[in-house]
């Protein structure tokens, strides 16, 4: 990891958000936002947007309610030319997926 800047805001005793850009050694980037209420398990809102060094999307997870045709609605994953079913990922799962993709890039 080359750069991390974490912003957090607490709205009240049980709700807040975190967001951050993470820039990796190869200049790939993950921008993420999580809005969470500690009284509920699922995140209220999330977005994990992973890009290459030219800031072209590699994948993107979110729960924006705009793909009603997906069985896991509102949760879904954008890939370059596709939208896929997806359960709500954790930040740890997204980072592990990125690590796997970066390992596959190395000669």
Q: What is the pLDDT of residues 14-51, one digit of tens each?
A: 899 999 999 999 999 999 999 999 888 889 999 999 99
- Cis before 74 (ω within 30): yes
pLDDT attached to residue 107: 65
Q: How many CB atoms lie within 10 A of CB 59?
A: 20
Whether 106 shows a pLDDT value over 80: the answer reads no
pLDDT attached to residue 63: 98
Helix (H) or strand (E) segment spanning residue 101 = helix 91-105
Q: What is the pTM of this model?
A: 0.91
Distance CA 92, CA 96 (A): 6
* Nearest CA among 60, 42, 43 for reference residue 51: 60
Model confidence pLDDT, tens digit, residues 35-94: 999 888 889 999 999 999 999 999 999 999 999 999 999 999 999 999 999 999 999 999
CB 91 within 8 A of CB 100: no
Distance CA 77, CA 50 (A): 11
């Amino acid at each position: 990891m080359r750069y991390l800047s974490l912003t957090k805001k607490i709205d009240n005793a049980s709700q807040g958000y975190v967001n951050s850009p993470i820039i990796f050694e190869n200049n790939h980037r993950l921008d993420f936002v999580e809005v969470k209420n500690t009284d509920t398990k699922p995140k209220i809102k999330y977005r994990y947007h992973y890009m290459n060094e030219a800031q072209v999307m590699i994948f993107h997870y979110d729960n924006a309610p705009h793909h009603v045709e997906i069985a896991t609605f509102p949760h879904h994953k954008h890939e370059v030319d596709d939208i896929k079913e997806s359960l709500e990922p954790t930040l740890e799962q997204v980072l592990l997926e990125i690590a796997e993709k970066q390992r596959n890039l190395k000669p």
